[in-house]
Amino acid sequence: MINKIKRVSTFLVLSGILLTNLNFYPANIFFHRLGALGWIIVGYIKSDKAIMTNFGLQIPIFLLGFIKLVI
């Protein structure tokens, strides 16, 4: 199950990066955010603080992008 979460999360993160490069806003935020959440879950299950730190710090950045979108 964890390997499936990793694969899907990686696909979503890479899709978000692609959408950012193609300037598809705000879809890029939503795809990348879902992938980051998946990786946070994996980091939590595996007790990997490096993964949780990396992807956990991305969530506030996505929140800023979402606030910019709304305002």
Please report the pLDDT score of residue 34 as a whole number. 94
pLDDT tens-digit map of 3-62: 999 999 999 999 999 999 999 988 888 899 999 999 999 999 999 999 999 998 888 888
Instruction: Look up residue 27 and give its amino acid.
Output: A
Please report the pLDDT score of residue 19 as a whole number. 94
Residue 70 included in any domain: no
| Residue 32 CA: distances (Å) to CA of 4, 54, 58 | 17, 13, 9
User: How many structural domains comprise the chain?
Assistant: 1
**Which tokens hold the place of 7?**
């694969």
Residue 8 included in any domain: yes
Q: Which domain holds residue 33?
A: 2-65
2 has pLDDT over 90 = no
Please report the pLDDT score of residue 68 as a whole number. 81
69 has pLDDT over 90 = no
